[in-house]
């Protein structure tokens, strides 16, 4: 510790006469002294311990005569002394008065009210300290006025000695305690700055002291961080104080410890340092009543430290990494432990960040009012994984970097970093190379020694199995790694000390090794409650001679502590190692939904559910277990409350078509949630999802849902949708394509163009079928249809599709003159895909040619005449009105039995506006010679509210002959 006399500054007047002492109190060059030292002086000379001299004026002095104190502002910065002006200074009894040549020892007699006579006036200074110093029996020398008075126990400055204060006791030594002047803004600001930057401990503990003490708990975290990249899902360093507990949940190997250590170091090393205490679950003791018992062991007077940090607006953060390592005997008292921890967090203003597995957090017993929503930490995004691979020295390019942080770090440690092993190969290679390095440390770098090291490592993993916390006790460690083996293994870092025992440095590697040695059938039997003996072993029937006593019932197995749920890892790893796990997985399924299913909420139900879901999620290729997945989905759809959440099915690493098929099975029970999941998949991967969803069109139960989803999400990928629909080759798909031709004409134009140029004949048929229904909305759309028609027309072997091509070309004004004669000839010859509507666009521009084709088909038997009349009624064609009316009149004259069809044509023409009035009136007048039945058919058709209907109907009635019975009576 630095000597106090090296921080004392001599204060003299301008002529060099010493007036007292001052001492530094902050990092801005501020000195603290007594007021009499500077009283009445316009300038002062300050002499530093090294001999340097500074001159200050009255403008550099902040006088506090009411407290007999003064502050001097200088431009020279000395290491400041810690000030103990808080409540802890009230307990000070033994003090030291630091001087340039000697330190006076003494004690505090008690508080007194002293009188201070300044140059301008006198002041009463309350709560001054009366000191008893054996080395100053006749009062304090003037040269020591302004000297710091230190607490003999803590070494912090608690008061300023003065020579000008007077009390009722003659020759008394008095001092002004800092806490007596803490009400002045200048002193309060000074105390706050000093507390935040100059550490003090013990009774004088301040914020800076808290920062130094907590920094000691994070000083060894740098190796845990290593090369890392910034992550979007990194845990936050601050959150609202109303809920002080935040959990960061991650699976082993996701970099949880790395991120927590990085957060702790960032807080401890930032410009505005934040107090952070680092703990591991192994640091907890079996009899801890709360987390603060563990905090107290690394941070003395933890509760006071937390209050100081909260008062300084830097709340203390306790980072608890791997709470799963806590002693197993503490697990039964977890509810009381959590409740007491929550109460102390609220009382002290501290916060708790827990980094654990999801299975452990499911058992947390904190009050809901204390807990923030959990923060999830997963694998790295692809870009972050590539960046971390580069920082670790892995070769860029080639295969994508693994997104699992531990996999990247283990790859970087292998001597063949460019390899791309599977997960099992990577973990196995990590153990092998670690054992080889251990052999080298033993000066026996041969395979035999490496194999012996591997055997000892596996034996250590085997001994970690059981219902405990998964650690290796010190006794087991010494037995498995005797002599020089222990230091070599620890130096290699394969195992690390953890509380009272040892653990593997990587939890994921530890679980994988333990899974190798787990007796899986016995473990499943114990976890699922399947421990009953065979039926004949528990029978109460007599099987011997008469009088043979009944054998006693089997004794129940002795059970210790239950297996903690966070110990699921070794069991899962053992299941993943089974080549054909259908039997074990089916056993888990029956425990969830079978004749003897476990009670929901029970321990067997939890183990079955979490083992089944976690194993299926980690299978290298779940498609190999597709029959099991389909059967499981069918069971879940029939279950009123499915144990497996929908999130499980969306997280399975399956191809999109398979996922959609399983979601359909889940939806058969009537739950709409799987359909919402299908919509999400459709948005995320439309290219793969659309064909699979179109397959639902053949399923009567889900056809309507499929149409709704396809129509509602059509804008996600219109081109992919049209391709999926045409590939479905189903009437419902064709109907949706016709609908898209109306609501999305541009997309259908692109599709028709693709189909027309596709080498597959069935696509040419699709183009011919759907193209005529499109009304192009722009010039580019018309161009696409034109190119498609020309492509269809260029294939002589597909002449049956030429009619559709001619329909498109006739509708295009640019190509109509060239292709209309072929279209008319083809229509007259009744070629496929040529209808009256095919020629309608040319009716106004090529009236004679089109009407000649219509005339030829009107007189043919069948329904073609009705189609022609419908087209003539619907097509405006203002320049062809008269010619059209003559053609229809000619047809009516030859076919009076078709009066109803012609009347429908007349009614349709009235919808084209008043411009049709004159032509239609002439047509009605020409009906004079038609039979009454014909006129009645027209009268029945003209019953609408249109004014033209009324006028035509009136003209029609005037054509009726006057009957004899209708003559008027009377005489002329």
Contacts of 62 (CB under 8 A, 6+ apart): 70, 71, 72, 73, 186
DSSP state of 563: P
880 lies in some domain: yes
Domain boundary pick from 146, 166, 201: 201
Q: Which pLDDT tens digit goes with each residue over 656-688?
A: 999 999 999 999 989 999 999 999 999 999 999
C-beta of residue 400 within 8 angstroms of C-beta of residue 386: yes
Contacts of 699 (CB under 8 A, 6+ apart): 664, 706
Domain boundary pick from 474, 501, 517: 517
| Alpha carbon separation from 6 to 9, 17, 79 (Å, rounded) | 8, 21, 10
pLDDT at 364: 87
778 lies in some domain: no
pTM, two decimals, is 0.79
Are both 373 and 227 inside the same structural domain?
yes
The CA distance from 125 to 460, in Å, is 71
| Alpha carbon separation from 560 to 325, 540, 564, 644, 646 (Å, rounded) | 18, 29, 12, 30, 35
Contacts of 181 (CB under 8 A, 6+ apart): 64, 67, 69, 85, 187
Are both 337 and 467 inside the same structural domain?
no
How confident is the model over 547-554, as a mean pLDDT? 40
The CA distance from 818 to 134, in Å, is 127
| Alpha carbon separation from 768 to 39, 312, 772, 821, 832 (Å, rounded) | 108, 79, 7, 20, 10
Are both 62 and 174 inside the same structural domain?
yes
Start-to-end C-alpha separation, the chain: 148
792 lies in some domain: no
174 strand-pairing partners: 130, 162
The CA distance from 852 to 837, in Å, is 15
Q: Which pLDDT tens digit goes with each residue over 247-256?
A: 999 999 999 9
**pLDDT of 553 above 90:** no
960/257: higher pLDDT? 257
**pLDDT of 549 above 50:** no
pLDDT at 540: 34
808 lies in some domain: no
How confident is the model over 484-490, as a mean pLDDT? 94
The CA distance from 511 to 566, in Å, is 11
Beta strand 9-13 pairing with 53-57: unpaired
Domain that holds residue 14: 4-201
917 lies in some domain: yes
pLDDT at 104: 87
How confident is the model over 111-133, as a mean pLDDT? 90
* Residue 299 half-sphere exposure toward CB, CA atoms < 13 A: 33
pLDDT at 971: 45
The CA distance from 467 to 465, in Å, is 7
Determine how many CB atoms are found less than 10 A away from the CB of residue 174.
24
Burial class (CB in 10 A: 0-12, 13-18, 19+), 463: middle
Domain boundary pick from 181, 201, 221: 201
Q: Which pLDDT tens digit goes with each residue over 843-870?
A: 999 999 999 999 989 888 888 999 999 9
935 lies in some domain: yes
CATH number for the domain spanning 197: value is 2.40.10.120
The count of domains in the chain is: 4
DSSP string, 923-958: HHHGGGGS-HHHHHHHHHH--SS-HHHHHHHHHHHT
DSSP state of 890: H
**pLDDT of 321 above 60:** yes
**pLDDT of 485 above 70:** yes
Tokens 């798909």 belong to residue: 733
How confident is the model over 888-915, as a mean pLDDT? 89
906 lies in some domain: yes
Are both 126 and 240 inside the same structural domain?
no
Least confident of 166-170, 392-396, 693-697, 834-838: 392-396
Beta strand 173-177 pairing with 157-162: antiparallel
Are both 34 and 178 inside the same structural domain?
yes
The CA distance from 344 to 355, in Å, is 20
Q: Order across the sheet with 501-504: list the strands.
A: 472-473, 501-504, 495-498
What band does 725 get if pLDDT is binned at 50, 70 and 90? very high
The CA distance from 275 to 210, in Å, is 7
DSSP state of 701: T
* Mean pLDDT across the chain: 88
Q: CA nearest 768: which of 756, 751, 754?
A: 756
Least confident of 323-332, 525-534, 783-792: 525-534
pLDDT at 543: 36
The CA distance from 900 to 905, in Å, is 9
**pLDDT of 398 above 90:** no
Are both 216 and 192 inside the same structural domain?
no
Are both 338 and 401 inside the same structural domain?
no
626 lies in some domain: no
33 strand-pairing partners: 70
The CA distance from 362 to 371, in Å, is 13
How confident is the model over 786-811, as a mean pLDDT? 93
List the structure tokens of 413. Answer: 């440690």
**pLDDT of 474 above 60:** yes
Alpha helices in 219-317 (DSSP H): 222-225, 256-269, 291-298, 302-311
Phi-psi region of 139 (alpha: psi -120 to 50; beta: other; left: phi over 0): left
pLDDT at 402: 84
Are both 915 and 873 inside the same structural domain?
yes
**pLDDT of 552 above 50:** no
The CA distance from 417 to 693, in Å, is 42
pLDDT at 351: 96
CATH number for the domain spanning 320: value is 3.40.50
Are both 181 and 221 inside the same structural domain?
no
C-beta of residue 742 within 8 angstroms of C-beta of residue 753: no
| Alpha carbon separation from 24 to 27, 48, 148, 847 (Å, rounded) | 8, 11, 10, 109
The CA distance from 385 to 228, in Å, is 10
Are both 147 and 285 inside the same structural domain?
no
C-beta of residue 574 within 8 angstroms of C-beta of residue 520: yes
Are both 89 and 211 inside the same structural domain?
no
**pLDDT of 228 above 60:** yes
Are both 350 and 456 inside the same structural domain?
no
Q: Which pLDDT tens digit goes with each residue over 635-655?
A: 999 888 889 999 999 999 999
**pLDDT of 693 above 90:** yes
940/376: higher pLDDT? 376
């Amino acid at each position: 510790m630095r000597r106090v006399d090296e921080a004392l500054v001599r204060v003299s007047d301008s002529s060099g006469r010493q007036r007292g002492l001052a001492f530094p109190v902050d990092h801005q060059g501020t000195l603290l002294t007594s007021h009499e030292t500077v009283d009445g002086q316009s300038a002062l000379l300050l002499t530093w311990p090294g001999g340097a001299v500074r001159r200050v004026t009255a403008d550099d002095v902040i006088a506090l005569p009411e407290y007999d104190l003064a502050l001097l502002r200088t431009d020279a910065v000395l290491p400041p002394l810690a000030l103990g002006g808080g409540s802890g200074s009230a307990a000070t009894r033994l003090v030291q008065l630091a001087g340039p040549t000697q330190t006076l020892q003494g004690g505090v007699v008690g508080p007194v009210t002293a009188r201070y006579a300044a140059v301008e006036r006198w002041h009463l200074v309350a709560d001054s300290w009366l000191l008893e110093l054996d080395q100053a029996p006749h009062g304090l020398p003037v040269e020591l006025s302004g000297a710091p008075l230190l607490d003999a126990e803590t070494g912090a400055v608690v008061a300023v000695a003065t020579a000008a204060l007077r009390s009722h006791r003659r020759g008394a030594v008095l001092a002004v305690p800092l806490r007596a002047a803490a009400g002045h803004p200048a002193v309060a600001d000074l105390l706050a700055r000093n507390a935040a930057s100059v550490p003090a401990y013990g009774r004088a503990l301040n914020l800076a002291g808290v920062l130094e003490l907590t920094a000691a708990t994070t000083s060894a975290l740098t190796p845990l961080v290593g090369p890392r990249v910034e992550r979007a899902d990194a845990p936050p360093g601050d959150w609202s104080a109303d809920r002080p507990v935040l959990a960061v949940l991650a699976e082993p190997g996701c970099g949880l410890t790395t991120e927590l250590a990085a957060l702790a170091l960032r807080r401890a090393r930032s410009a505005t340092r934040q107090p952070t205490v680092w703990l591991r679950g192994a640091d907890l003791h079996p009899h801890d009543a709360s987390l603060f018992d563990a905090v107290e062991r690394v941070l003395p007077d933890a509760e006071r430290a937390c209050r100081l940090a909260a008062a300084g607006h830097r709340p203390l953060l306790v980072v608890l990494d791997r709470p799963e390592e806590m002693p197993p005997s503490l697990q039964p008292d977890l509810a009381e432990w959590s409740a007491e921890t929550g109460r102390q967090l609220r009382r002290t203003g501290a916060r708790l960040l827990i980094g654990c597995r999801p299975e452990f957090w499911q058992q947390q017993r904190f009050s809901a009012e204390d807990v923030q929503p959990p923060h999830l930490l997963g694998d790295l995004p692809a870009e972050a994984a590539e960046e971390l691979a580069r920082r670790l020295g892995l070769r860029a390019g080639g295969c994508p970097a693994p997104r699992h942080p531990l996999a990247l770090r283990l790859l970087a440690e292998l001597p063949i970093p460019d390899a791309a092993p599977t997960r099992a190969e990577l973990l196995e290679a990590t153990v092998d190379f670690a054992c080889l390095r251990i052999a080298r440390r033993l000066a026996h770098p041969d395979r035999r020694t490496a194999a012996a090291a591997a055997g000892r490592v596996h034996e250590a993993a085997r001994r970690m199995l059981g219902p405990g916390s998964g650690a290796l006790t010190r006794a087991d460690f010494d037995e498995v790694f005797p002599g020089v083996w222990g230091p070599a293994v620890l130096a290699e870092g394969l195992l690390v000390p953890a509380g009272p025992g040892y653990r593997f440095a990587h939890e994921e590697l530890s679980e994988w090794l333990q899974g190798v040695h787990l007796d899986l059938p016995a473990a499943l039997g114990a976890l699922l409650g399947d421990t009953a003996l065979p039926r004949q072993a528990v029978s109460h029937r007599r099987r011997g001679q008469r009088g043979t006593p009944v054998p006693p019932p089997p004794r129940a197995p002795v059970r210790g502590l239950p297996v903690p749920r966070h110990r699921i890892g070794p069991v899962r790893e053992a299941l993943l190692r089974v080549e054909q796990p259908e039997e074990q997985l089916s056993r888990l399924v029956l425990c969830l939904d079978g004749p003897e299913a476990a009670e929901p909420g029970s321990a067997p139900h939890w183990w079955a559910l979490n083992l089944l879901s976690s194993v299926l999620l980690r299978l290298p290729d779940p498609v190999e277990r597709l029959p099991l997945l389909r059967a499981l989905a069918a069971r879940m759809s029939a279950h009123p409350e499915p144990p497996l959440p929908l999130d499980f099915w969306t997280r399975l690493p399956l191809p999109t078509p398979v996922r959609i098929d399983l979601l359909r099975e889940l939806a058969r029970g009537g739950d709409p949630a799987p359909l919402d999941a299908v919509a999400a998949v459709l948005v995320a991967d439309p290219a793969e999802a659309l064909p699979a969803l179109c397959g639902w069109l053949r399923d009567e139960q889900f056809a309507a849902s499929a149409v709704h989803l396809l129509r509602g999400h059509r804008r996600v990928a219109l081109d992919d949708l049209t391709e999926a629909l045409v590939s479905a080759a189903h009437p419902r798909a064709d109907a949706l394509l016709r609908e898209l031709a109306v609501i999305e004409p541009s997309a259908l134009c692109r599709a028709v163009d693709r189909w027309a140029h596709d080498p597959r004949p069935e696509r040419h048929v699709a183009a011919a079928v759907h193209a005529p229904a499109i009304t192009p909305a722009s010039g580019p759309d018309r161009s696409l249809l034109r190119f498609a028609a020309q492509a269809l027309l260029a294939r002589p072997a597909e002449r049956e599709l030429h009619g559709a091509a001619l329909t498109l070309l006739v509708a295009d004004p640019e190509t109509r003159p060239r292709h209309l004669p072929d279209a008319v000839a083809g229509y007259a010859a009744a070629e496929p895909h040529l209808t009256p509507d095919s020629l309608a666009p040319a009716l106004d521009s090529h009236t004679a040619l089109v009407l000649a084709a219509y005339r030829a088909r009107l007189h043919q038997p069948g329904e073609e005449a009705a189609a022609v009349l419908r087209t003539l009624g619907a097509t405006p064609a203002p320049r062809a009105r008269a010619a059209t009316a003559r053609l229809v009149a000619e047809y009516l004259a030859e076919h009076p039995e078709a009066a109803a069809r012609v009347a429908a044509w007349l009614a349709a023409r009235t919808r084209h506006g008043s411009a049709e009035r004159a032509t239609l009136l002439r047509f009605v007048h020409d009906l004079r010679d038609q039979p009454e039945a014909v006129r009645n058919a027209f009268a029945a058709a003209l019953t609408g509210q249109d004014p033209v209907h009324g006028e035509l109907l009136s003209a029609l009635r005037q054509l009726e002959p006057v009957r004899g019975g209708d003559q008027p009576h009377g005489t002329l």
